[in-house]
Amino acid sequence: MLQFEDTVKCWDVFELRLPIAPDDALYADAGLRAVFERGMRQLHADGFYDGNGSLIVRFMPDEEGEWSFHADGPSLPVDGMKGEFLCLPADPGVHGPVRVADATHFAYADGTAYTPFGTELSAWHIQNGASRAKTIRTLQASAFNKARMSLMPNVEYTGSGESNFSPFAFGEGGKLDFDRYNPAYFARLEECLQVLAQHGIEAELTLLPANEADVQLTPVQEERYIRYVVSRLAAYRNVWWTIADLGDGTLRRDKYWRCACRTVRECDYGQHLLTVHGAPAAYDWGAPWLTHISLRHEEVTIASTFTLQYEKPVMIDHCGYEGTGPGKENALTPEELVCRIWEGMARGGYVTHGESLVGSGGTCWSIHGGELQGESWPRIAYLRKLLSDAPDFLSYNRMRHDVSTIERQGEYALSYFGAHRCTSRLFAMPGGEFAADLIDTWNMKLERLDQTFQERFVIKLPGKLYYALRLQKVSGGLVTGTIAEEDTEPLLAVGDGD
């Protein structure tokens, strides 16, 4: 008999559970599926085998009200089984899954704008309980709202005393059995997804590893694995899919990744965000099945070019790590990483944080989680604080090639000077009166200039590294947006110009 609750909140997980006799053959095909209906809508969800004699179908309702379902499969009566449940309003602060919005930006399903401030945490979920708890506490104290994770992390990344590091079960001789899955691993992963969701953090899951030598699946095994993962996890609202990390390229033909994307789309009724990750030349980023672009590149100014060319959100999910490693990508100064994140944002893209500094026990944040060791993350939090008062969906202005600028024309502009030590700059802001704030992005100080500006004007700048300038339209004597009084110091004189 199917087991289920008769109420669920919007964008939470609704679950049908069917107890049966244990049978590992069901990992390949659970044989259980359900159609969920509300009004004229029909959404299909495949089931999965959770081990220990339990078949499950999960569903994420996205609309309040009465839903009905019809489940069928060999383990049910010939006519299947029907039922109903009530979808209640979402909890406060729950906005649904993230979607693409306004072509090159993101928003939650309810329309609330979402700006990703991501960090890499590839194997934090396979660490011991103390480490995982420490990671969550660290995330709570940071500004990160997206965690980039790997479903097949390297075995050497596992935490002390942990054995559930792989989605696959162990077979004879301790080797991984790619025809069976590890429910304990997925239970751990799902616990982590739920905790991230509670704190408003999206989970970007890379399905296949960068090094195919680590896990060699046949095409049939690969498709089964993707179907199992998506059927199991698609009901979590904070999941994003990344098919694979292609690195600088791959020997596999494009048709393999196309097939993998098609499999995800077939199984994911929730239509979560979907991409692959790699260097600019590693893939055809214009492929319509990719919702956004995920790049591995140290030159973040490429964000504006890719945004223009493909008209999709551009995420530079790997631009290097703050650290002191042997390779240049692992040895960025905190100043350089913060500069790259600001520059990418001011070019209309989104840049992910990474940290390779080694802490206690030989762990580092971007692999194991735990505690942040570096100096970049508070500056990223400051950037998020600044943007929290900005209008939604700011766009890169290509007419300001001398400095990277995102703006809403006639209302707001944020220019980043980065590695350029400018002493002054001409601005053109027609259509009103604007207040100006000079921002020291490294020292996290904002200095309100003591006059307002119209049309064309020159603002003197300090001639120092890592500065930005914000212009906000004044309406009725008040600046549109807010500013923390403790962050404000009137400072520089201003000269007229044409």
- Give the span between the Cα atoms of 96 and 378, in whole angstroms: 27
Confidence at residue 233, expressed as pLDDT on a 0 to 100 scale: 98
Domain segments of the chain: what residues? 7-88, 98-387, 395-495
Question: Binning pLDDT at 50, 70 and 90, where does residue 480 land?
Answer: low
Q: Let me know if the fold of 7-88 is the same as that of 395-495.
A: yes
Strand order in the sheet with 293-296: 118-120, 146-150, 202-208, 239-245, 274-278, 293-296, 314-318, 350-351
User: What average pLDDT does the segment 315-331 reach?
Assistant: 94
User: What average pLDDT does the segment 252-267 reach?
Assistant: 88
Confidence at residue 252, expressed as pLDDT on a 0 to 100 scale: 67
Q: Which residues contact 225 (CB under 8 A, 6 or more apart)?
A: 167, 178, 181, 207, 217
pLDDT digits (tens, 9 = 90+) for 27-54: 999 999 999 999 999 999 999 999 989 9
With a cut of 90, say whether residue 493 has pLDDT above it: no
User: What average pLDDT does the segment 270-277 reach?
Assistant: 96
Confidence at residue 215, expressed as pLDDT on a 0 to 100 scale: 79
> Domain 98-387 - what CATH class?
alpha beta
Dihedral over Cα of 383, 389, 392, 398: its sign: negative
Question: Binning pLDDT at 50, 70 and 90, where does residue 202 land?
Answer: very high
- Give the span between the Cα atoms of 238 and 224, in whole angstroms: 23
pLDDT digits (tens, 9 = 90+) for 333-377: 999 999 999 999 999 999 999 999 998 888 999 999 999 999 999
Dihedral over Cα of 328, 329, 332, 336: its sign: positive
The mean pLDDT value of the chain amounts to 92
- Give the span between the Cα atoms of 49 and 261, in whole angstroms: 22
Question: Binning pLDDT at 50, 70 and 90, where does residue 492 land?
Answer: very low
With a cut of 90, say whether residue 321 has pLDDT above it: yes
Question: Binning pLDDT at 50, 70 and 90, where does residue 257 land?
Answer: confident
User: What average pLDDT does the segment 157-185 reach?
Assistant: 88
Confidence at residue 157, expressed as pLDDT on a 0 to 100 scale: 86
- Give the span between the Cα atoms of 203 and 149, in whole angstroms: 7
The dotted CATH code for 395-495 is 2.60.40.3950
Question: Binning pLDDT at 50, 70 and 90, where does residue 491 land?
Answer: very low
Instruction: Copy the structure tokens of residue 157.
Output: 């990344």
7-88 placed in CATH 2.60.40.10: yes
pLDDT digits (tens, 9 = 90+) for 442-479: 999 999 999 999 999 999 999 999 999 999 999 765 56
- Give the span between the Cα atoms of 304 and 295, in whole angstroms: 13
Name which residue leads in pLDDT, 71 or 171.
Answer: 71
Helix axes 183-198, 129-141, angle to 10 degrees: 20
pLDDT digits (tens, 9 = 90+) for 57-116: 999 999 999 999 999 999 899 999 999 999 999 999 999 999 999 999 999 999 999 999
